[in-house]
Chain A
Amino acid sequence: MAPVQTEAKPIVNKSQALVWLRQMMQIRRFEDRAEMLYQMGDKIGGFFHSYSGQEPVAVGSIGVLREDDYVITAYRDHGHSLALGMSPNAGMAELLGKVTGCAKGKGGSMHFFDVEKGMMGGHAIVGSHIPLAAGMAFASKYRGEDRVTICYMGDGAINQGGVHEALNMAAMWKLPVIYVVENNLYAMGTSLARSSATTDLKLRCAVPYGIPGVTINGNDIELMAKTTREAVNRARAGEGPSFIEAQTYRYKGHSISDPGKYRGRDELEKHIQKDPIVIYQNVLKERGWIDDETIEKMWEEVKAEIEASIEFAEKSENPPLEAVYEDITVAPFIPQE
């Protein structure tokens, strides 16, 4: 990973920086507490993919978007939803399968949606949402609007054929879409070096299509924001798609059930030593924008907020059994049975 550059050039004002720090804390706490709940047994079902360690990628990039832009991602989707301002209540309730969840308990961890916030979904078939993002961008261009779509995927997704079909059409039609690969080095248990003929992802996803592409330290939040802003400006100006390889690292296994035996303890420790939230706290302290006391207070607020979301989720109702037939189609649904 490239060294942290944030310190050198602030690209945001103090209030924005504090918002971003708080969002990263909120995501970290949400994931930690949700994982604890998952391990308690029967509260959270299915697969659960933690975003811990990757927070600056979502927060820094979403932080420079407009409210009417579209965001779409894969199954590791809690962080992006919270970065968009979705309430932790709706997220936690979704994990518990409750009717108050962000998909009424029908989506679960891998399928968070919030149309009001521009959260166009967590999508769980690897690579399948990359064409969807191009479609949303297509619609912006078709309507003559300047809203952009930002699409996140993991490093594993770049090996799916549909990704390259979408990149080709996005480039050919100059669609206003920004593709961000969150390269956390592992596609589940398979390292990038064992799954990609070249580990320079620009050479796979950007260069062949004439798309401007960069590789950056995605855990440097302000670099992430600055790079995304440049891409967004190009997209709004009608100059087409951009590609960002954001190098990052996930602290947890691929999902909760993954003990991560394919990577050494030393490697994980090395990354935890460079925790992006701690680094940003230090950067902001050096700028004189925050002190330890305020940081501590912020953590306490975030903890209380997440505890409240758990209480909200626990107290919420399950969807009624008749909901199984609801929201299948807009037209009245007739079960074929």
Chain B
Amino acid sequence: MAVFSFREALNQAMTEEMERDDRVFLMGEEVAEYDGAYKVSQGMLKRFGPRRVIDTPISEEGFAGIGIGAAMVGLRPIVEFMTFSFSLVAIDQIVNNAANMRYMSGGQFAVPIVFRGSSGMAGSLGATHSHRLESWYAQVPGLQVVMPATPADAKGLLKTAIRSDDPVVFIEHEVLYHDRGEVPDGEHLVPFGKADVKRLGKDVTLITYSRALKYTLAAAEELAADGIDAEVIDLRSIRPLDIDTLVESVAKTHRAVIVEEDWPYCGLGAGISDRITQRVFDELDAPIRRVASLDAPIPYNRQLEASMLPTPPRIIEAVRDVMYL
């Protein structure tokens, strides 16, 4: 297996899918001549030309809707948001049109579209540019929501997303773009709805996704030094959720901590905790704990922002709590 960066993996996924299917095209702000605000689409204009790699004006609602309309008649757009924070301007299109179209039309239309882009607390970007909107989108029936944590999953999940006949919200983490990792050679597809057990353990289940996987794996190593054997699960797919893998793990460890960068109240972890509790309440030896961001807007100051993150000390504290240590 060769090693690539997260952004190279995304680029490969889009390039390969555009090579195999003329219906696939990329549209968004600065994706073409600027080579991508985060260089994810580097070289794609040169390779595919302006028919298929399309710069848009700063009109998120407009170009999201244009993508949906094109998808309704059979094209397969990839719509890039420079960051998912800006998808708030387009949320009517994503929720009312992309997610509802098939249902409202009694199954007459499909909307095979991918909305993708960066997100998260990426370093002093302030409250408007640091949103984590996974729980907002994951609540909507009709959308699929995926969040890769590794270059291999970035490629495999994005290829699956582009081939999906349904709308996909594909949320990247801005801080991960430089990360490098092994990516399987040849055709590499990762199915939706399948979590990845990153570390086997028997004492506690740590459930996480996206950038927080790094914090969680680091915390698991520290815990191991203290003799606590944590199982770490990377969700990869937020909706549909691989509830079976979570339940299986909790039935083994009897304890769970959910690690997320989302806000705590009504956050993704709240929904996951509810589903685990419904399925295996009797298996739990302690209430499920959540390590989320703090319930405040995201601050500019580095120290304040760092305090919002689900870092290893906060994770370890939660683990010790569920283990009554």
Contact = CB atoms under 8 A, between A and B. Distances in A.
Interface of A: 70, 101-107, 111, 113-115, 120-121, 123, 125, 128-140, 142, 161-162, 165-166, 168-169, 172, 326-331, 333-337
Interface of B: 25, 51, 56-57, 59, 61-75, 92-93, 96-97, 101-110, 112, 138, 141-142, 144, 164-166, 193, 239-241, 271, 275
Contacts of A111: 104-105
Contacts of A70: 73
Given A70-B73, A336-B239, A115 B67 contact: no
Contacts of A327: 102-103, 105-107
A139 B96 contact: no
Contacts of B56: 169
Given A115-B109, A330-B165, A162 B65 contact: yes
A89 B68 CA distance: 29
A329 B101 CA distance: 10
Nearest to A147: B73
Contact of B69 (A103, A104, A134, A335): A134
A135 B104 contact: no
Contact of B105 (A121, A134, A168): A121
Contacts of A335: 141
Given A115-B108, A121-B104, A130 B165 contact: no
Contact of B67 (A102, A120, A135, A331): A135
B140 to A, nearest CB: 10
Contacts of A121: 101, 104-105, 109
A125 B104 CA distance: 13
Given A142-B25, A165-B62, A336-B240, A135 B70 contact: yes
Contacts of A135: 65-73
A65 B25 CA distance: 28
Nearest to A72: B69
Interface centre among A105, A128, A326 (most CB of B within 10 A): A128
29 contacts: A103-B104, A104-B107, A106-B106, A113-B105, A113-B106, A115-B105, A115-B108, A115-B109, A123-B97, A131-B62, A131-B64, A131-B65, A131-B66, A131-B93, A132-B65, A132-B97, A134-B66, A135-B67, A135-B68, A162-B62, A162-B65, A165-B59, A165-B62, A168-B62, A327-B103, A328-B142, A329-B102, A331-B166, A336-B275
B125 to A, nearest CB: 24
Given A334-B240, A336-B241, A132 B68 contact: yes
Given A327-B106, A331-B166, 4 more contacts: A106-B104, A131-B93, A133-B69, A162-B61
Contacts of B239: 336
A211 to B, nearest CB: 15
B70 A136 contact: yes
B102 A139 contact: no
A160 B274 CA distance: 39
Contacts of A103: 104-106, 108
Contacts of A113: 104-106, 108-109
A328 B67 CA distance: 19
A326 B240 CA distance: 16
